[in-house]
Amino acid sequence: MPMIQVTLPDGEVNEYSTGITAGEVVIDIFGRKHGCVAAFIDDEQRDFSTIISNNCSIDGISAESEEGIHVMRHSAAHLLAQAVVMLYPEAKPTIGPAIERGFYYDFANLESFGETDLKAVQKKMHELARNNLTIERVECSEDELTELFATNPYKLEIIADKLEDGDGSTIYRQGEWYDLCLGPHVHSTAKLMHVRLTSVSSAFWRGDQNREQLTRIYGLVEASKEALKLKMAALEEAKKRDHRKLGKDLQLFHVDEDVGQGLILWTPRGAIIRTVLQNFISEHLTRQGYHQVYTPHIGKLDLYRISGHFPYYQDSQYPPLVEKDLMKKLSDDGCSCSDLSNLMVSGDIDGYMLKPMNCPHHIKIYSSQPRSYRDLPLRFAEFGTVYRWEQTGEISGMTRVRGFTQDDAHLFVTEDQIAAEVLGCIELVQIIFAALGMSDYRVRVGLRDPDSSKYVGESQRWDRAEEACRKAADSLGVNWSEEPGEAAFYGPKIDFIVKDVIGREWQLGTVQVDYNLPERFELNYKGSDGELHRPVMIHRAPFGSMERFCGVLIEHFAGKFPTWLSPTQAHIITISEKHADYANKIATKMRNAGIRVEVDDSDATIGKKIRNHRKMYPAYMIIVGDGEMENGTVSIRARNGNQSADVALDSFITDICEEIEKKVAVPSLVLEENC
C-alpha cells in the first residue's frame, strides 16, 4: 500500500498508509483523549473524516482553542436546527453561524415561538446529542443541492448566490437531518451535550429590513458541564455590574416614563460623577488652549438647512417647533400635519429645531467676526446637549438615549494644522482613559473607499488628513484598525469603541476631519498672503456623550468608583448616639476640606450600619466611638474591608485630599490589613 508522509505539530514526520483519516492521525498524535473537535490539514480546518491521500501537515483543533470553539458552536447551530425542524416541521432553517458569544440559527415559518418554547427544543437537542449521531460531510452537485433543498427557498437563494454555475458544494448530514454547509464540524452530536439555549429574538433575512422577518434562537455550547456552568455563572456575574441595575441601586440616574424614553434624569449622586468628570476634562481643555462656549438647545430650521442636517436626517430628529402665531394661522387655514411637514421641508415656513448637533452653533461663533490666520487654530468647546430621535427599540439605559450631552468641540484650523490638532485630540483621550484605568477599547480609523466618488474635497487633501489620522491612532499605543469606506463623506475619522458587560460594543468618542461644513457655511480667514482662505474643521467628542461615558464607567468600576469620582467619599458612622455631635463636627471639618461626606448617627448597631452603607460602595467608612472622641481620631474602614484604627483626623483629611488630588485608582488609606 502506498504510504504518505505527515508532518506532526512538533515537526516530526510520520508515515501512514493512504486512506487514513485526519481523525485517526489526531488520535495517533494525542491519544484517544485528544480533546480535539477537528483537524488542521496544511493549516486548513477540516473534518476528522477527511481522508489523507497526499503528504501534508496535520494538527488537532482543540475544543478549547478559538477555532475549536467556533467549530463546536457551528455544529451546535446545526443541532438546534435539527431539533427545531423535528418539533416544528413547518419551520424553514435559513442561516445558523457561530458568533462571538455562542451561536444562533434563524428560522422562517416559526412565528409565535417564544422563550417558553426553548426548553422543549433544548431537551430535543440533548436527546439528539445522546444518540451520538455521526456527522458526515457529503459532496453534492448543484443539481443535487437544488433538489435536496427544493422546499426551502432560503437555502436555494444561498445556493444561487454563492455557487458559480455548475459548481457543487457540500452538505452535512446527521441522522435524517442535513444542512448546506462548508464545515468543518465535530464528528458526532455527542460532542454537543453541553448546550443551553439562551434567548429568542427576531432578525431580518440577510439583515435587510425590507425582507422577511425570521425567528432567531440564540444558544451557548461548551465542551463540558463544568465549563457551561462557569459560563452561565460568568454571565450572571456580568449582569450584576450592568449600569442600569447599578444606576438604580446606587441612585445615579433615573429614567421616568412621564418625562420620556431615553431622557436621563441625573440624580444627585450621578450628577456628582458627571460634574467631577466634566471638571477634569475642562482642566485639560484649558491646558490645550480651548475656549469654552455656551449655545442654546434650539436653532432655526434654516441653520440646519445650510448645514444639511434638515431634512436629510429628519428620521432621527425630534419634529421641529413652529412659532405660535404662525401655527395658529396655519391651523385656521386648515393646514394638515403633512402639509406642515411639506412646507417646512420646502423652506416655505420656518421653525426651530432641537439641535441634533452643536456644530452649526459653533460655526456661527466662528463667523461672528472676521478671522485671520493668526487666530487659528480656534478651538470652541462645549458640553453641548443634543437631541436625536432614536428608534424605540434601540433605547437602552444610559448608552442609547434621545437626549445627551456631548463633550463636544470644534476646531477651526488651516490645512497645515490638521495633523497636530488631531494628535492633540488623541492626547486628551489618552490622558483621561489612563486616569480611569480604561485600557480595554479599540480604535477604528475610518478612511474613504477608493472606489467611491461620494466624498467631498480633493484627494490630496484626503491623503494628508488620512495620514494624520493614522499617525494619531499610532500614538495611542493600542490596537487600531483601518477601515476603508467608513469615513464620513466629508472627511476621515477616528472612533473609540468599548464593550459593555454583556459584550455589546458602543462607540464612545470620535475625531472627524471635515471639509464640508466650512464650505457650506462659506467660512474663511485672511491668510498671510492677504487672500481669504477656507479653514478645515475638526469635530471631536472624545468620550461621545456624558451619558454613555458614565454608563460605561459605572460598568468599568462595577459601581466601585475611585475616591475622586465617588459620589460620597466617606460615610461617618457612629457607634452610639452619644457620638453624634463628634461625627457631625468631623463631617463639617471634612466638608470644609472639600470631601463629600455622609453621616449616619442613627441608633442601629454598628454591624447593621456597616452592612447598609456597604451597598452604596463608599470609598471609606469612618467609625467613631468613645476612643475616637476622646483622642480626636477616626477609625477607617476601606471599601475592601481593610481597617485602620485611631488615625488622627487631620492626617486622614490630608491623606484623603491627596488621594483625591492624585486621582488614585483604588481607595488605599489603610495601615493595617484586617479582612
Partner RNA sequence: GCCACCAUGGCUUAGCGGUAUAGCACCUCAUUGGUAAUGAGGAGGUCGCGAGUUCAAUUCUCGCUGGUGGCUCCA
Write out the binding residues for RNA, residues 383-422 only, by CB under 7 A.
Answer: 391-397
Establish if 667 lies at the interface with RNA (CB under 7 A): no
For residue 249, the minimal CB distance to RNA (Å) is: 7
DSSP category for residue 672: B
Q: Is 463 a catalytic residue?
A: no
Q: How many residues of this chain bind RNA (CB under 7 A)?
A: 80
Smallest distance, RNA to C-beta of residue 235, A? 11
Closer to RNA at the Cβ: 5 or 201? 201
User: Stretches 5-13, 470-478, 544-552, 618-626: which one binds RNA (CB under 7 A)?
Assistant: 618-626
- 359, 425, 469, 550: the catalytic one is 359
Nearest to 614 by CA among 571, 646, 574: 571
Residues numbered 206-245 forming contacts with RNA, rule: CB under 7 A: 206-209, 213, 215-216, 218, 242, 244
Beta bridge partners of 138: 171
CB nearer to RNA: give 299 or 446. 446
Catalytic residue among 122, 174, 317, 406: 406
Q: Which residue's CB is nearer to RNA, number 379 or number 637?
A: 637
Contacting residue, 248, 269, 284, 442, with RNA by CB under 7 A: 248
- Per CB under 7 A, the segment of 24-32, 465-473, 517-525, 639-647 that binds RNA is 639-647
- Distances from the Cα of 381 to the Cαs of 366, 415, 577, in angstroms? 12, 20, 50
Stretch that binds RNA, among 93-101, 414-422, 438-446, 665-673 (CB under 7 A): 93-101
- Dihedral (CA of 396, 98, 553, 614) sign: positive
Q: Which of residues 114-143 bind RNA (CB under 7 A)?
A: 114-116
Task: List the grid coordinates of 15.
Answer: 508515515
| C-alpha count within 13 angstroms, C-beta hemisphere, residue 506 | 25
To RNA, the closest distance from the beta carbon of 429 in angstroms equals 23
Residue from 309, 400, 448, 493 carrying the catalytic annotation? 493
Stretch of 112-120, 404-412, 535-543, 648-656 contacting RNA, by CB under 7 A? 112-120
**Residue 603 is a catalytic residue:** no
- Residues paired with residue 541 on neighbouring β-strands, in sequence order: 510
Mark 557-582 as b/e (b = at least 16 C-beta within 10 Å): bbbbbbbbbbbbbbbbbbbeeebbeb
Contact indicator for 211, 157 with CB cutoff of 8 Å: no
Q: How far is the CB of 184 from RNA (least distance, A)?
A: 12
Q: Would you say 630 and 642 are in contact if contact means Cβ atoms under 8 Å apart?
A: no
**Does 160 help bind RNA (rule: CB under 7 A)?**
no
Specify whether 359 is catalytic: yes
Asked if 250 and 273 touch (Cβ cutoff 8 Å), the reply is: no
- The answer to whether the beta carbons of residues 485 and 448 sit under 8 Å apart is yes
Q: Say if CB 663 and CB 601 are below 8 A apart.
A: no
> Hey, which residues does 636 pair with through a beta bridge?
622, 644
Residue 388 annotated to the active site: yes
Residue 493 designated active-site: yes
Question: Applying CB under 7 A, which of residues 180, 186, 197, 426 lies at the interface with RNA?
Answer: 180
- Which of positions 417-446 make contact with RNA (CB under 7 A)? none
Catalytic residue among 539, 556, 609, 613: 539
Nearest-angstrom CA–CA distance, 41 and 56: 7
Question: Which of 72, 158, 508, 590 lies at the binding interface for RNA (CB under 7 A)?
Answer: 158
Measured from the CB atom, is 18 or 261 closer to RNA?
Answer: 261
Q: Does position 671 bind RNA by CB under 7 A?
A: no
327 φ/ψ angles, rounded to the nearest 5 degrees: -60, -45
Q: How far is the CB of 111 from RNA (least distance, A)?
A: 6
**CA distances for 201 relative to 117, 198, 213, 219, 624, angstroms:** 13, 10, 10, 12, 54
203 binding RNA? (CB under 7 A): yes
Q: Per rule CB under 7 A, is residue 626 in the interface with RNA?
A: yes
Per CB under 7 A, 257 contacts RNA: yes
Active-site option among 78, 410, 444, 596: 410
Does residue 665 contact residue 556 with C-beta atoms inside 8 Å? no
Q: Which is nearer to RNA, 581 or 661 (CB)?
A: 581
Q: Which of 119, 329, 591, 611 binds RNA (CB under 7 A)?
A: 611
Catalytic-residue membership of 514: no
Cβ of residue 507: shortest distance to RNA, in angstroms?
A: 12
- What is the rounded distance in angstroms from the CA atom of residue 505 to the CA atom of residue 555? 13
Q: Where are the alpha helices (DSSP H) in 3-137?
A: 22-30, 66-87, 118-130
Q: Residue 224 corresponds to which cell in the numbers above?
A: 463540558
Cβ(415)–Cβ(536) below 8 Å: yes
Q: Grid coordinates representing 628?
A: 475616637
**Residue 576 C-beta: closest distance to RNA, Å:** 3
Site string for RNA, 498-527 (x = CB under 7 A): ----xxx-----------------------
Return the C-alpha cell found at 114: 417564544
Q: Which is nearer to RNA, 530 or 607 (CB)?
A: 607
Return the residues of window 332-361 that contact RNA according to CB under 7 A. Answer: none
Are the C-beta atoms of residues 262 and 255 closer than 8 Å to each other? yes
**111 vs 339, beta carbon nearer RNA:** 111
By the rule CB under 7 A, 605 interacts with RNA: yes
Among 39, 92, 125, 179, binds RNA (CB under 7 A): 179
Is the CB of 289 or the CB of 627 nearer to RNA? Answer: 627
Decide: helix, strand or coil at residue 440. Answer: coil
Judged by CB under 7 A, the stretch of 65-73, 130-138, 435-443, 572-580 that binds RNA is 572-580
| CB contact set of 216 (below 8 Å; sequence gap of 6+) | 104, 105, 106, 107, 200, 201, 202, 203
Least Å from the CB of residue 49 to RNA = 17
Q: Check residue 632 for interaction with RNA (CB under 7 A).
A: no
- Give one DSSP letter per residue of 507-570, joined into a string: EEEEEEEESHHHHHTT--EE-TTSSEE--EEEEEETT-BHHHHHHHHHHHHTT---TTT-S-SE
CA–CA gap between residue 550 and residue 243 (Å, rounded): 9
Name residues contacting RNA, limited to 23-62 (CB under 7 A): none
607 binds RNA (CB under 7 A): yes
User: Shortest CA distance to 539 belongs to which of 425, 620, 430?
Assistant: 425
Instruction: Examine residue 547 and tell whether it contacts RNA (CB under 7 A).
Output: no
Grid cell in block for residue 139: 459532496
Give min distance, CB of 403 to RNA, in A: 12
Residue 410 known to be catalytic? yes
CA 607/CA 624 separation, integer angstroms = 13
Q: Is 606 in the site for RNA (CB under 7 A)?
A: yes
Determine the Cα–Cα distance for residues 366 and 349; give it in Å rounded to an integer: 27
- Between 115 and 283, name the residue whose CB sits nearer to RNA: 115
Q: Choose, by CB under 7 A, the member of 88, 178, 204, 313 that binds RNA.
A: 204
- Strands of the sheet containing 44-46, edge to edge, are 13-17, 3-7, 56-62, 36-41, 44-46
Instruction: Determine which residue in the list 37, 63, 80, 200 makes contact with RNA, applying CB under 7 A.
Output: 200
Annotated catalytic residue within 117, 179, 242, 408: 408
- Show which residues are catalytic: 359, 388, 406, 408, 410, 493, 539
